[in-house]
Amino acid sequence: MRVLVVDDSRTLRKVLARELQKLGIEQILEAEDGLVALDMLEKHTVDLMLLDMEMPELDGLGVLERIKDSEHLRHVPVIVISSAEELDKTVRCIEIGAEDYLPKTFNPVLFRARVLSSYEKKRLRDAEKSYLNQLQAEKEMLQIEQMKTERLMLNILPKPIADQLRDHEQTISSEYPDVTILFSDLVGFTRMASGLSPVALVSMLNDLFTRFDKRARLLGLEKIKTIGDAYMAAAGLPIPRADHAEIAADMALGMFEDLAQFNQKNGMTLDMRIGLNTGPVVAGVIGYTKFSYDLWGNTVNLASRMESTSRPGRVQISPTTQAALADKFMFEPCGQVECKGLGPVNTHFLIGRAA
């Protein structure tokens, strides 16, 4: 415990210091006037100040006012020492924030009680402040961890679905009457993969799929998943939009641009098939630990069939997608495709946007 004794009387300072030493307090600083006291407070950390009221230069009331106006000094406990004639100033000091007061002719028992009481109150305030600071630090760390968790969830799930999961909804599923599903698959990937190390293979796939991800985000599609070298995305969910077929068509055409840039950068000749289909789906979150957002329904199955029966370098679309795109895009008939459970389906190749 460190105590600052402020009094213009050297004799009284020594008396106070001696009484403090009787209490086992050895760290005692002395100041002969208010200005010196303020200077010492800037240089030293003190646990208690014994402040005389009547001093030259700057009296006790003036010192206390400056202390309480200071952000880093206002918490220093102050016991004012005053004579009976200085009662008004003493009351003013208490109003400003002095911890306690002692009469000039003080009783040693009263001195001991008030010094130790003031120190104990400061100790408790410091402990409370430390605890609150610790709580604040823990709260900030918790907020950081929550932000990390939310960012991770948004990398796995669409935001509306992540919000539902965060709100502890047990079953998350929705029906969407009109969306467009995109499937793509790389041609020549297996041959390329056989000549690369696993690390190089993953790195190259990540490069290509990152290009697809950026395009999907720009256009407003929802990436669903990748399986090996296959890429699946959907337009029109989880937030429905009327132009879902158009943005899916733009995505499909743009993916070939991304692949061309990828091939040029890496000196490769990979090709790709893409299929599109439009219709109703059911979407939801499955799993408990490694959950994922997935789609189900015949619309998904037909979109996959559109991709698997397409030709390298082409986008094959179903009749429903062709009808949704209407006169906004150009098409090329490509005959019938046999689809399990549906029979023959007349399909088209997507050429580009109409002039």
Give a yes or no: residue 163 inside a domain.
Answer: no
Out of 130, 149, 183, a domain closes at 130
pLDDT of residue 57: 79
In terms of residue numbers, what domain contains 93?
2-130
Question: 3-state DSSP call for residue 174?
Answer: strand
pLDDT at 19: 87
Same domain for 202 and 293: yes
Residues 204 and 104 in one domain: no
Whether 95 and 196 map to the same domain: the answer is no
Q: Is residue 340 part of a domain?
A: yes
Q: Does 220 share its domain with 122?
A: no
- Final residue belonging to a domain, choices 105, 130, 155: 130
Is residue 145 in a domain?
A: no
Q: Which residues contact 68 (CB under 8 A, 6 or more apart)?
A: 74, 96, 97
Query: Can you give the pLDDT at residue 140?
Result: 80
Residue 238: asked if its preceding bond is cis (omega within 30°), the reply is: yes
pLDDT at 252: 96
Share in percent of the chain as helix, strand, coil (round to 5): 50, 25, 25
Q: Tokens 């968790």 appear where?
A: 149
pTM, full prediction: 0.59
Quick one: 207 and 327 in the same domain? yes
Three-state DSSP class for residue 291: coil
Query: Is residue 192 domain-shared with residue 302, that is, in the same domain?
Result: yes
pLDDT tens-place string over residues 23-51: 888 899 998 988 998 999 999 989 899 98
Identify the segments of the chain with pLDDT beneath 50.
none
> What CATH number is attached to the domain comprising 44?
3.40.50.2300
Q: Is 15 within a domain?
A: yes
Are 179 and 234 in contact, with CB atoms under 8 Å apart?
yes
Q: Is 159 helix (H, G, I), strand (E, B) or coil?
A: helix
For the CA atoms of 230, 350, 216, 191, the dihedral, rounded to the nearest 10 degrees, stands at 30
How many domains does the chain contain in total?
2
Domain endpoint, select from 130, 157, 180:
130
Q: Each residue of 340-351: pLDDT tens digit?
A: 777 788 899 999
How far apart CA 292 and CA 232 sit, in angstroms, is 13
Q: What is the pLDDT of residue 167?
A: 57
